[in-house]
Amino acid sequence: MTVISPSLDDERLFTSRQAGGRFLYKIYFLVFLTGIVSLLYYRVTNIAYDHPVLWFLITLAEFWFGVTWFLQQGFRWAPTYHVEYPERLAESNLPPIDVLVCTADPDREPPSIVANTLLSLMSYDYDVNKLSYYISDDGGSQLTFHAVYLASIFAKSWLPFCKKYNVEPRSPKVYFSTSSTSSPSGQSFRQEYDKIKAKFEKMQERIEKAGQIRNVPIETRNEHKGFKEWDTKVDPRDHASIIEVLLRGNGVDKDDEGNPMPSLVYVSREKRPTSHHRFKAGALNALVQPSVGIDK
């Protein structure tokens, strides 16, 4: 009996193949290059002294055309095509991914938009045990933390809904504001759709209400210990670091259907007037330490 083992090509995650017709293109290249050099040689050896300005402009244009054409040949000399096979990568071999989200000002970047962006990223089709989300709030705003907290609650309903029905787009604000033709039909889907939409609208209403009064209602503050960080006024330019774990991965926190949730961490780095904060670069650097130190 003959045993056929898989070939190396069957195990590769991608293949690279060179395009055909390269020999003909090299002939074209030599002919074209000869034409350009001959034309420039003709211009240099036949200077139009009667019209020097016109001769100079024409020669300069033809020279620049030759330079740009020559520089483009690096992309055309040996074209290569790559074909990826992501289905060959076992789920157990998927690398862990840290997703970093940055915001700084709840007025310029409304908390509702931050929440929708976060929910869209959290519904990414990937192994949730290998996904971790870190949001950097450079302004240290309780309105942003409030929106992220509410998003972490709604995500427990939104993520299984996206996975179950493969909805697109996965930003809830966009999804519920458009009539998607790709959505499945049926009474069970419609009932669940209405239920999830009602939860989303309630979340949006709570975020907008907090933004209008510029404060978080006391009943919401009592739901999570992280709001105690704002028991005293937090100056966006002068405050201690704030790190709050809203969701823990590896099956510690689960969604409404009992599936594990990805990690979600809120970070507002320490800022002092005496130290330069380096803007977004500093915010991203500040996320490195939590992403390494927090147990996922």
In sign, the C-alpha dihedral spanning 30, 35, 37, 41 is: positive
Contact between residue 85 and residue 140 where contact means Cβ atoms under 8 Å apart: no
Phi/psi of residue 238, each to 5°?
-155, 90
Do the annotations mark residue 109 as ligand-binding?
yes
Q: Cα torsion at 221, 224, 228, 234 (round to 10°)? A: -80
Q: What is the DSSP string of 237-287?
A: TBB--EEEEEE-TTTTSB-TTS-B--EEEEEE--B-TTS---HHHHHHHHH
Alpha helix (H) residue ranges in 180-221? 187-213, 218-221
Cα–Cα dist 296/249, whole Å: 5
Answer whether the bond into residue 169 is a cis peptide, omega within 30°: yes
136: helix, strand or coil: strand
- Residues of each annotated binding site: 109, 138
* Feature table: binding site for UDP-alpha-D-glucose: 109, 138
